[in-house]
Amino acid sequence: MLRLAAGRHELRPSGLLGGGGACTARSMPVHRERVDPIRTPAQLEVCHRRWLLPDDVGRPVALTQAARLWRGLLDLGVLDGSSEAQLVRVSLPPSGPPEESDLPAAASAGALLAGTGAASAVSQVVLPEEGCRDPYREEGPDPGYREYTLYVVDSSRFLLLPLVPVTVTCGACGAASTPELTSFATGALLDVQATCRACGAQRDLERDRGTLRSGATFLLEELCARAALSIELPRAPFEEEMPDAAVAGILREAFGAYDELADDGAEPA
């Protein structure tokens, strides 16, 4: 598992970034009311977020696969089928703010199937102490909340960036610049048809490198995904890799081989 520790605000996108690093007015924040009960540490300001995503950005993840994964989480009792889920969707290329809606959790898997040509994120907050299955099997009287969010991007032009780079270095000319990204939930969307402002070369996932606020640098192909499951917890679990074999199994069915990234000190969704 790749552990990416960062301080507060370090991995939080803020709209369309560009033009020498200044944020422009094209921010697309997601503000939503939580409809499920949450019991978090007092004045929780940072959290731990675990990202699970295919280990190959070129591997397609169809809407049907994403829907089966979300349905599998419901069937296993990880999610609460009697409660509500939140759906956020933006058409691609983005032409306006995302659409947000609350819907019965039992219908949320089917709602993912309507995401053709869009980026979709469906989420739910649950409390393991109230009977929901906890994939990380935390012990203790109050393991805290879990927020599950499944992202899927149905586009050949756009990709999800779960961990948002503050600069991208062009593989063609070596120039580093603040990337132009569109905020989406806790991640961002990358337009792979974007070009380097210095030399005009189109984005190259195998050569361009993204640098996180922590200073860690990765090829863009290592930071991007077509789909991802994020699990937000009040604190890091003891296990570095998911110990629940059943949950790991439905992840492999949807994603194939997958990576597990740890984002410490993240800002809650």
pLDDT at position 138: 64
pLDDT at position 62: 97
pLDDT at position 146: 93
pLDDT at position 19: 34
The structural domains of the chain, with segments of one domain joined by +, span: 2-21+46-119+145-266
pLDDT at position 142: 63
pLDDT at position 141: 59
- CA–CA distance from 124 to each of 33, 140, 206 (Å)? 11, 22, 34
What phi and psi values does residue 8 have, to the nearest 5 degrees? -60, 140
What phi and psi values does residue 87 have, to the nearest 5 degrees? -115, 130
**What's the pLDDT tens digit per position in 53-91?**
999 999 999 999 999 999 999 999 999 999 999 999 999
pTM above 0.85, yes or no: no
Cα 62 → chain centroid: 17
The low-confidence residues of the chain, meaning pLDDT below 50, are 3, 5-43
**What's the pLDDT tens digit per position in 168-189?**
999 999 999 999 999 999 999 9
- CA–CA distance from 54 to each of 46, 171, 225 (Å)? 26, 23, 7
* Residue 229 near residue 52, CB atoms below 8 Å: yes
Handedness of CA 64, 68, 71, 73 (dihedral sign): negative
pLDDT at position 188: 96
pLDDT at position 25: 29
pLDDT at position 21: 33
